[in-house]
Structure formats: C-alpha cells, structure tokens
Amino acid sequence: PLVSMKEMLEKGKDNGYAVGQFNLNNLEYAQAILQAAEEEKSPVILGVSEGAGKYMGGFNVVVSMVEALMESYGTTVPVAIHLDHGSSFEKCAQAIHAGFTSVMIDGSHHPIEENIEVTKKVVELAHIHGVSVEAEVGTVGGEEDGVIGGINYADLNECKSLVQETGVDCLAPALGSVHGEYQGEPNLGFKEMEEILNAVNVPLVLHGGTGIPTKDIQKAISLGTAKINVNTENQLAQAKTVRKVLEEKPNLYDPRKYLGPGTEAIKQTVIGKMREFGSSNQA
Ligand code: G3H
Ligand code: ZN
C-alpha cells in the first residue's frame, strides 16, 4: 500500500536498519524498484525530484503510474511516494495535492530562520493530509537537478531548533555527503551525527548514498540514519548496461531489447542496497 514514511522510518530507527529512497526517472525505474521491493519484502521510498517529475509529465502522472503499477503487481510492501528536494511551499503543496505521501522541503540554501519558517508551513499542510515531511540543515555537495552546491556541515543548534519548532518527521543533516560520484572517499561527520541524533531524536536521512562504503553505511545506521537516498548508482548501472547492449548489437532498435536489460540492472542494484541497508524482509 501507499503510505507516508513516518512509520517505516521509525521502525527502521528502532530496529537498526535504513529504508532506501530510490529516485524515479521514468517508467522503468518505477518497475524495477517496485519489483525489487516486493521480491525483497522491503519497505521502499520512491523519490521524485522536481526535474524528474516534470520529465515524467507532472506529479499527477507519477502518482497514477505508481498506483497502476502497484495494482498490476499486487504490491504488498509499504511504498511511499516522496518529493525529493522540494524547493518551495508551493511545490510541496502541489505534490501533496497530487497524492504524494511524503515531501522533502529543502530550505537548506536559505538562512535558518527562513528554513524553519517554510518547513513549518509545509508540516502544517502535510500533516493534515497524513503526509510525512523531511527537512534539511547544512548543504549536500555536488549536483542536484543541475544545481551545483558546496558542502556545509549541519549545525547542531540549528538542527535542534528546526526539529523542535517545525515538528518534521525526519531530518537530513548534511555531514559531508555529496550528490553524484565521490572524488575519493567520503568524509562523513559521524561525531556530529551522534550529537544531532541525541539532540533531535527523529530518524536521520543520508543524502548522496551513491559510492558510500558499506562500513560508513553501517555506522550511519547505528547512529539513527533510517533513510538513505540513492539515485546516481542506479543511473550508472542502467546506462552501463544499455551502452553495452547497443555496442554489442549496433543494429538493435527495439527499445524493449535495450531498455529491458537496463531495467534489470536497476533492479539488481536496488536489491543489493536493500540487503546492505538491512530493510530486506522487514515489510
Ligand atoms: O536526493 C537524492 C540523493 O541524495 C541521491 O544521491 O545520486 O548521489 O545517490 P546520489
Ligand atoms: Zn539529495
């Protein structure tokens, strides 16, 4: 069933595993991720950025597509459709009214007072609809939907005020992670993560899940991280496979013959992440 993230993240936090957010880019991603979740008996979060939502034809199209697939597959595991890096109250409201079950309001590029103000407004609307809310403090490095940013570590007191004043369901404190591929090893602020967890007591979210070594994933989970976002790694797996098939068979033109193997590559990548995050068999 389609549900908010609230319960799945609290269960993850209490039982020492994280639920993966896997981003949708088109139909094939929705197919691969829903199939992986059902096979693994894992809760799952389908992340939709504003850019990807637009690419797929709008938030309503995304919700209809996911609902229809879930019905066709007979999906039994909990699934959340989540707006990833929502840029404004209006975009979050649009997603909520289209039927998203969860939204992220990313006010991290604004001063903390403004971040708190917009997050609070989103929480008020979202909670009326039973929709969960994620907020971000500090900034994730790398590129997201064409916007390139630097790394800024989340400030403990800002995290505390934001959670207390807004009532968000989970918090993404940026602590050195990067969107896209890492240049070398990531350097995550685990000491800060622990302090933030103790101060806020809501499930934490780790962005930029691509390329983080297993030991760091495990450490983050042990420090209250109950949601890990992965996008680039699925895209790399898909592109690599499609490229290989087209190179091997230059006369191939039926999309089912080259996209099909790409979809299988996404599915296997997602299954690997679910096992690594410990969410398999938790649905
Ligand atoms: O919000 C989405 C993510 O943080 C994805 O990051 O593309 O590095 O896996 P990634
Ligand atoms: Zn992100």
Q: What pLDDT shows up at residue 145?
A: 65
Nearest atom in ligand 1 to the alpha carbon of residue 235 is 7
Dist. CA 1 → ligand 1 center (Å): 24
User: Which one-letter DSSP state was computed for residue 5?
Assistant: S
- Verify whether ligand 1 is closer than 6 Å to residue 186 (CB atom): no
Q: Tell me the pLDDT band of 144, cut-offs 50, 70 and 90.
A: low
Kindly report, residue by residue over 254-272, the tens digit of the pLDDT. Answer: 999 999 999 999 999 999 9
d(CA 216, CA 50) in angstroms, rounded, equals 29
Dist. CA 263 → ligand 2 center (Å): 22
Residue pair 17/43 in contact (Cβ under 8 Å)? The answer is: no
Nearest atom in ligand 1 to the alpha carbon of residue 85 is 1
Domain range 6-277, its CATH number among 3.40.1710.10, 3.40.640.10, 3.20.20.70, 3.90.226.10 = 3.20.20.70
Query: Mean pLDDT across the chain, nearest whole number?
Result: 97
d(CA 226, CA 231) in angstroms, rounded, equals 17
Q: Tell me the pLDDT band of 185, cut-offs 50, 70 and 90.
A: confident
HEC-encoded secondary structure of 37-94: HHHHCCCEEEEEEHHHHHHCCCHHHHHHHHHHHHHHHCCCCCEEEEEEEECCHHHHHH
- Verify whether ligand 1 is closer than 6 Å to residue 20 (CB atom): no
What is the domain partition of the chain in residue ranges?
6-277
Q: Which of 3, 45, 84, 46 is nearest to 226 (CA)?
A: 45
Nearest atom in ligand 1 to the alpha carbon of residue 179 is 8
- Verify whether ligand 1 is closer than 6 Å to residue 209 (CB atom): yes
Residue pair 5/79 in contact (Cβ under 8 Å)? The answer is: no
DSSP per-residue string spanning 236-254: HHHHHHHHHHHHH-TT---
Dist. CA 281 → ligand 2 center (Å): 26
Kindly report, residue by residue over 90-131, the tens digit of the pLDDT. Answer: 999 999 999 999 999 999 999 999 999 999 999 999 999 999
Residues labelled as active-site residues: 84
Amino acid at 92: C
Ligand 1 pocket: which of 229, 233, 236, 270 to mutate (most atoms within 8 A of CB):
229
Kindly report, residue by residue over 26-37, the tens digit of the pLDDT. Answer: 999 999 999 999
